[in-house]
Structure 1
Amino acid sequence: MNLSSQLHETAKASANKPAYYFLDKVTTYAELDGAITRFASGLEKLGVKKGDHIALLLGNSPHFVISLYGALRLGATVIPINPIYTADEIGYILTNGDVKTVIALDLAIPLAEEMHTHLPKVEHYVFCETGLSDFEQTNLENLPVFSKMKSFTSVVASGDVSFQDPKLDDDEVALILYTSGTTGKPKGAMLTHKNLYSNAKDVGDYLKMNNNDRVITALPMFHVFCLTVALNAPLLSGATMLIVPKFSPKEVFRLTKEYKATVFAGVPTMYNFLFQYHEGNPEDLQTFRLCISGGASMPVALLKNFEKKFNVIVSEGYGLSEASPVTCFNPLDRPRKPGSIGTSILNVQNKIVNELGEKAPAGEVGELIVQGPNVMKGYYKMPEETHASIRNGWLYTGDLARTDEEGYFYIVDRKKDLIIVGGYNVYPREVEEVFYNHPDIVEVAVLGVPDPNQGEAVKSYVVSKNPNLTENQLLEYCKEHLAKYKIPSSVEFLDELPKNTTGKILRRALKSQIKQKVNQ
């Protein structure tokens, strides 16, 4: 069984059951399944084949759901990409990921025109109509990329509902998720049909998700947290999604009150905004039976304040892209422990090991490793990195953790130097690479600093050979090369950065210097 075939079975059994609401318009499972089949058929008629790589540059919308499941039904491999990435970031993923078809909002037409000459492997651009694009049809016909362009509507319309999907093996790659690496270049985690299906089913079962649930889908669909917990798991369970195009506290409160939502999944930043929303009425969230937090550790004070104000329980979990992503969750049938990521979910085993790979006793800090049907196949075209991450069937997460006597896991520290901005991972090296491409920068170090709204923010410390270079100039430069959440909140100029005897910049020493300066 896989995600697409299971959805097809649900549509046959519950044809008129609402699959989702979007902008207050309802779509049934039968309607969704039909659109998915026609889209898969339409792609095939374009020449897209089983195994081809398809990139999605889409926000939260029916377009994303239909494109994802339509591509999977055809047997293609899907590569979701954050649509706010810059041309440089998108171009790297499209090239490294050997993408042949791009599905994007029509707002991205100028970006396609700018990039298409550098992307000879891309054969088709399918644009989803928003009605917000400035481009008229006559303008499009004059663009060199026009010959490769199709509209989403036309692809669906050309499809045949009698389309027969090919046989899909469990170990075939269904999704490639690009996750930032310490080398500064994103790595593509290959997730198979078995990985995605097993994690969505196990998460749904663990959270007791059912066809009476109405799930707020406000997390970005291109992010693996949303993909599994707020999209795939609900659809596997026959639940109804309440799709939020872009997170806003006002919309979450409105949808919850109007449609009696039962499940909300978000990162700590979202919970903070909901808690701080002055017009939020606690009674509006009374239908929630479950609130899920992930993506970053939630401050215990926020967790307790949110629960007290809205009279709900927030359950924290843990996951990573390489594990599809969920490995741990706080149990629903036992007391939730604030600060803990919970226990291993169904069919997944978590373990803490020391430097020798031996299991660490309760209370001892070691590396968290994971084993289960959710663990990725490997990194795309990166065999050495794959071998380093997966050893003897165990995925080494790089996160330091411990367990208590009852088997609850606690993350002690994140991967070295990782910065989490509003639930999104930012690796310093990736930002530093951008600075090093600036002609006036000699050295740079990027650190995470506390931020009351996003949890953490990016801050850069630079050594420049140009005394007239300003902070604003560097920030404007970053806007051209980095997604918004990766852009530093501030830049501080220093005469030199701390280094070891080999000349390596020492971030930890820099952190200590900054801390000492603050305490003086």
Structure 2
Amino acid sequence: MNLSKRLSETAAAHAAKPAYYFLDQATSYGELDGAVTKFASGLESLGVTKGDHIALLLGNSPHFIIAFYGAMRLGATVIPINPIYTQDEIGYILNNGDVKAVVALDLMVPLVGKVEGLLPKVENYIICPTKQDSAIEEAVAAHPKMKSFSEVLETGALSFEGPELDEDDVAVILYTSGTTGRPKGAMLTHKNLYSNARDTGSYLKMNEDDRVITTLPMFHVFCMTVVLNAPLISGATLLITPKFSPADIFRIAEKYQATVFAGVPTMYNFLYQYPEADADSLKTLRLCISGGASLPVALLKNFEQKFKVVISEGYGLSEASPVTCFNPLDRPRKPGSIGTSIMNTKNKVVNELGEEVPVGEVGELVVQGPNVMKGYYKMPEETEAAIRDGWLYTGDLAKMDEEGYFYIVDRKKDMVIVGGFNVYPREVEEVLYSHPDIVEAAVIGVPDPNQGEAVKCFVVSTNKDLTEEQVAEYCRQHLAKYKLPSSIEFIEELPKNTTGKILRRALKDHILQS
């Protein structure tokens, strides 16, 4: 089984059921599956064949879903790219990923003229409209390599059947965020993607009655599996929002009686802080899902108390398609934990020798299962370093309790070593988030001539009169001496990527520049 085939089966059984709403317009499963088939056929007419690589430079829209599933139905490999990346970042991925065709927003048309000479392998640019613009339409019509999205659909045939797909064929290549060096392309097979969507959907009890708010960016693996693929193979309905806005989330939740919301911690913070929201604003939700970064326990408790809905925190990474753990819905959930292993996936905590450590001891989290990537594209050495003896090494420090619940302590590379003692930024951040006047916080390590490293805190506060000394005193009440911040800097907003994850490297750059 694969995602494309499963979509066709759902469409055959529930042709008239809404697959998604976008800008308050409904599209049925039958209509979606037909568009996917026609797009696959249209790609083939452009010379795209099984095994070719297709990049998607798209935001949250029907274009993304149709292109994503259409490319897979043809047997092509999809490379999703954040459309707000710089020209250099996009160019690197297109070249390194050996991309043959690009599906992009019309906002990218001016960029094509600048970079196409540097991208000899790209044969077609398929342009998706964001608005009526005669100048862009004329530019697309005049360019030999450009086609409109509607044009590709119109040339496709509903009779298209597509090639046989092997479960080990690469379906998607996801380029990591590249916190160190150039981004690496994680190759995910049809088996990887389908098994993780199936097992995640089953774990979270997704069904045909669910209406899932889809506001996470579709090009990100968290959204791709948890709020795109898992709902679609479960026959649920997507409520697509082009971008995250608290006002839109509350409006959509009420209008369509949403049952599931998934977001990153920053989104939960914005929803919690939204002044016009009350306990009834999310009353139809049966479940909230958090991932992408650790959710501060104080925020989790405040959100649940205000909106009377449970947040299930999970864990994943691109190389695992991505989900490996979730807090279970049929057993007690533990705040601060990423939960237990989802079905068909194993997690364990190991030491530097790869040996499993005792319960409660900190080590590196490693993962095994049908969701683990095939490897990094054109990077055999990096693949061997990441996958050892059949286990994926995540680079995250974790511990496990007696009941099999896992806890992320921190990123291995983010750990701060103060005078030989390990300080995990998350532990300090949890204390800062529990302060009533602090809405966001981030902790990094900075060089220290005496201790090797010292703890530095960045804080966003609602109280302009809050002082560094008051925050320091609060920390002294809750932290051992060696974990205390050596400096506290108030900041208007923490730097984040498009998924809302706080960028520690940007904070480190800020220190170097100041």
Which residue identity does 1:242 align to in structure 2?
Answer: L
User: What TM-score, normalized by structure 1, do the two folds share?
Assistant: 0.81
Give the match for residue 337 of structure 1: 334
TM-score normalised by the chain length of structure 2: 0.82
CA distance in 1, matches of 2:97, 2:258: 37
- Tell me what 2:149 maps to: 152
> What is the aligned partner in structure 1 of residue 307 from structure 2?
310
* Runs of 4 or more consecutive aligned structure 1 residues displaced over 2 Å after TM superposition: 132-142, 180-183, 417-420, 447-453, 483-495
Task: Give the counterpart of 1:415 among 412, 430, 443.
Answer: 412
1:52 aligns with 2:52: yes
Question: What is the aligned length?
Answer: 441
Q: Take 1:484 and 1:258, find their aligned partners in 2: how far apart are those partners? A: 29
AA aligned opposite 2:402 = E
**Structure 2 residue identity aligned to 1:88:** D
Cα distance in 1 between the residues matched to 2:325 and 2:456: 25
CA distance in 2, matches of 1:196, 1:484: 23
Distance 1:494 1:125 in 2: 39
Question: Which amino acid counterpart does residue 230 of structure 1 have in structure 2?
Answer: V
Read off the aligned partner of 2:381 and give its amino acid letter.
Answer: E
Partner of 2:291: 294
- Paired letter, 2:245: S
How far is 1:182 from its partner?
A: 5.3
Which residue does the alignment assign to 1:91?
91
Equivalent position SS for 2:413:
coil
Structure 1 counterpart SS, 2:175? strand
Structure 1 contact 56–81 (Cα < 8 Å) conserved = yes
Q: 1:494 to 1:287 in 2, by over 3 A?
A: closer
* 1:126/1:149 contact within 8 Å kept: yes
Question: Any unmatched runs of 5+ in structure 1?
Answer: 421-427, 429-444, 454-477, 496-520
Q: CA deviation at 1:181?
A: 3.9
Q: Which residue of 1 aligns with 2:369?
A: 372
CA drift at 1:415: 3.3
Structure 2 unaligned blocks of 5 or more:
416-424, 427-443, 445-452, 462-494
Contact persistence 2:278–2:306 (CA under 8 A)? no
Q: Residues 344-383 of structure 1, C-alpha deviation per residue, up to 9 Å, x if partnerless?
A: 0010000111122111110111110000000000000000
What RMSD, in angstroms, separates the aligned Cα atoms of the two structures?
2.4
Indicate if the aligned counterparts of 2:293 and 2:501 stay in contact, CA closer than 8 A: no
After superposition, the C-alpha distances for 1:475-515 in whole angstroms (9 at most, x for unaligned) are: xxx9xxxx9986946734579xxxxxxxxxxxxxxxxxxxx
| Distance 1:334-1:27 versus aligned 2 partners, 3 A rule | same
In structure 2, distance between residues paired with 1:448 and 1:27: 50
Assess, with a 3 A threshold, how the Cα gap between structure 1 residues 488 and 410 changes in structure 2: closer, same or farther.
Answer: closer
- Asked whether 1:491 is paired with 2:510, we answer yes
Matches within 5 A, 1:115-514: 115-131=115-131, 133=133, 135-140=135-140, 146-181=143-178, 183-417=180-414, 450=458, 452=460, 488=506, 491-492=510-511
Q: Is the 8 A contact 1:58 1:104 kept in 2?
A: yes
Does the CA-based 8 Å contact 1:217-1:265 persist in structure 2? yes
Question: In the alignment, which residue of structure 2 is the partner of 1:508?
Answer: none
The alpha carbon displacement at 1:46 in A equals: 0.6
| SS of equivalent residue, structure 1 residue 284 | coil
Q: Return the offset for 1:135.
A: 2.6
The aligned residue for residue 468 of structure 1 is none
Distance 1:275 1:32 in 2: 34
The CA distance in 1 between the partners of 2:339 and 2:9, in whole Å, is 32
SS in 2 for 1:125: strand
Matched-pair contact (CA < 8 Å) for 1:106–1:133: no
1:68 aligns to what? 68
Displacement after TM superposition at 1:211 (Å): 0.2
Distance in 2 (CA, whole Å) between partners of 1:412 and 1:335 is 21
Identical positions, percent: 70
Give the C-alpha shift of residue 183 in structure 1: 4.1
Within-5 A mapping of 1:38-49: 38-49=38-49
What is the CA distance between 1:195 and its match in structure 2? 0.1
Contact 2:19 2:28 in 1 (8 A): yes
- Give the Cα separation in 1 of the matches to 2:27 and 2:387: 41
